[in-house]
Structure 1
């Protein structure tokens, strides 16, 4: 069962997205109209009052997103993999000096050539879900690939320049 995220507009302030944890604590992220964010921990006795707020810089918000988002995406895909026999999820890096660093995803022709799909790219703490063919890889990116063993191995071969 997945957690339910509630989103509320705060007129003149911004938007807050909250989730209630399994143990009953409510936490959220407040995104102000000017773009800065705060992590909000709500009071146990008064769920409408914040007991703690933590202002976040853009880099800090991205770091927390990486800590929570990227591993969760990969974990979720791995759980799906267990449910679908024959389907794998792996992270494949774009190494420095790779022929695909600085080139668009479409140049790999990965799906056409292997049947495997690049479902996300992890870049400097950010998850880029469902990148399109014009998405340009950078050295240090990790792509999340879903497919059969042969398909995932095929994408790895393409990245190495074997084929």
Structure 2
């Protein structure tokens, strides 16, 4: 029997971060909540009741990095920049359909000027738009990929959350 790709889904948690759910080939449920502060919560669920949490561990960003290194020690490539080592973070920010910015152009947000953070891509339905220009028109449901300092990204998320 061929083993397919793991089934993983993501759910935005407004004001918290993103939850990633994985069902293993043994039908066990795991979840990781990627908190906006860089921390992670790793949870596993009972085999006989996938809705009942069996274990939950809150990890700092550094502890989460250590777990990644333990699980996949060859994941680092000298050609890739580690944003955490540089003091940068990347985050997905979903634009609400009732957002003030729905239908407005990206340049109006003055994102880089106001926060120092950059919107490096927009995910819209099944399409990825890299390096959107200032005249790019935002739409409710867009997921914006924002990179910058933790403070800058949090400020950007607050600006983009304006209704």
Normalised by the size of structure 1, how large is the TM-score? 0.48
When Rg is computed on C-alpha atoms for both structures, the one with the higher figure is 1
Larger fraction in helix: 1
